[in-house]
């Protein structure tokens, strides 16, 4: 086995006959999580005071490790039939994303303020969805949403219609007593969204009798509206799992 094939087998899940993650990809996932954890810790001043050199060193170490990984992926990419050359892989979205992540490690060391840019590191978690069993799980989620797209569309239309109706009702009932909160239908929509989603911030509440009746009806209806797409997706996921298990059983029987 050549070095390129060995790297491809270690880094590219589609090159493996075995299921699950390779040890190399498992280590990469751990490094990604650690780098994101350090990025989160950097936002807390009590965790960074007097430790700037340690964080800078960690940035350099992660940069070196991810740079080696990026170079290895470029070198081994032609082993995958989808990429004729390393340049073809380098121009893919995932590769460009990796390059941005590498830059996010270096820019803070140059004295540039990149607190937002550092969050690009979180994009590396996309890799989790492309490795081993994670890709199958994502495909199942995509299929469930696709199979129930019409039902989900109807539930979204119902939710938007109810939001408009409740906003209009509260506008008519509360516009005189609370013009700042319910002086227009768009203003009333904030209350409607918070109520329909059962969040209930409580920053804006109806004061009139008609407003409270409309609010009660909206709150009760919102429970069903939120549960509707949840039930639709749960049923789709259940059917998808049953189909996957049936295929696995058939494959085992044939073997």
pLDDT at 202 exceeding the cut of 80: yes
| Cβ neighbours around 198 below 10 Å, total | 12
pLDDT band at 250 (very low <50, low <70, confident <90, very high): low
End-to-end CA distance of the chain: 28
Q: Can you spell out the DSSP letters for the chain? A: --HHHHHHHHH-GGG-SSSS--HHHHHHHHHHHHHHHHHHHTT-HHHHTT-HHHHHHHHHHHHHHHHHHHHHHHHHGGGSTT-SSHHHHHTSHHHHHHHHHHHHHHGGGGT---TTGGGGGGGGGHHHHHSTHHHHHHHHHHHHHHHTHHHHHHHHHHHHHHHHHHHHHHHHHHTTT-HHHHSSHHHHHHHHHHHHTT----SS---SHHHHHHHHHHHHHHHHHHHHHHHHHHHHHHHHHHHHHHHHHHHHHH-
Please state, for a pLDDT cut of 90, what percent of the chain lies above it: 19
Are the C-beta atoms of residues 36 and 125 closer than 8 Å to each other? yes
How confident is the prediction for the chain on average, in pLDDT? Answer: 81
CA angle 214/220/226 to nearest 5° reads 120
Q: Which domains does the chain have, with CATH numbers?
A: 3-131 (1.20.120), 146-254 (1.10.287.70)
Query: Could you report the per-residue pLDDT of 71-107, keeping only the tens digit for each?
Result: 999 999 888 888 888 999 888 887 888 888 787 777 7
Q: Is the pLDDT of residue 1 over 80?
A: no
What pLDDT does residue 93 have? 81
Higher pLDDT, 216 or 13: 216
Range in 28-32, 38-42, 211-215, 248-252 the model is least confident about: 248-252
| Other CB atoms within 10 Å distance of the CB of residue 69 | 20
The per-residue pLDDT for range 99-153, each reduced to its tens digit, is 887 877 777 656 555 555 556 666 666 655 555 556 666 677 778 888 888 888 8
Distance set, CA 20 to CA 6, 16, 128, 228 (Å) = 17, 9, 11, 34
Q: Is the pLDDT of residue 155 over 60?
A: yes
pTM of the model: 0.60
Question: What average pLDDT does the segment 179-187 reach?
Answer: 91
């Amino acid at each position: 086995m050549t070095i390129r094939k060995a790297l491809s087998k270690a880094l590219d899940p589609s090159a493996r006959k075995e299921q699950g993650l390779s040890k190399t990809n498992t280590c990469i996932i751990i490094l990604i999580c650690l780098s994101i954890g350090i990025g989160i810790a950097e936002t807390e001043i009590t965790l960074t005071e007097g430790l700037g050199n340690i964080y800078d060193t960690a940035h350099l170490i992660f940069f070196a490790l991810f740079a080696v990984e990026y170079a290895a992926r470029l070198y081994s990419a032609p082993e995958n039939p989808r990429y004729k050359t390393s340049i073809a892989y380098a121009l893919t979205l995932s590769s460009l994303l990796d390059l941005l992540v590498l830059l996010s490690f270096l820019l803070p060391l140059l004295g540039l303020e990149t607190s937002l840019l550092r969050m690009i590191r979180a994009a590396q978690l996309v890799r989790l969805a492309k490795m081993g069993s994670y890709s199958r799980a994502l495909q199942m989620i995509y299929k469930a949403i696709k199979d129930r797209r019409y039902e989900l569309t109807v539930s979204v239309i119902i939710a938007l219609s109810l939001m408009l109706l409740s906003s209009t009702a509260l506008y008519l009932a509360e516009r005189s007593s609370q013009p700042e909160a319910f002086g227009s239908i768009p203003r009333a929509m904030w209350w409607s969204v918070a109520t329909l989603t059962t969040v209930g911030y409580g920053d804006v509440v109806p004061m009139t009798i008609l407003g409270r009746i409309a609010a009660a009806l909206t709150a009760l209806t919102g429970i069903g509206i939120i549960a509707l797409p949840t039930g639709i997706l749960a049923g789709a996921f259940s059917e998808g799992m049953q189909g996957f298990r049936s295929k696995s059983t058939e494959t085992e029987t044939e073997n």
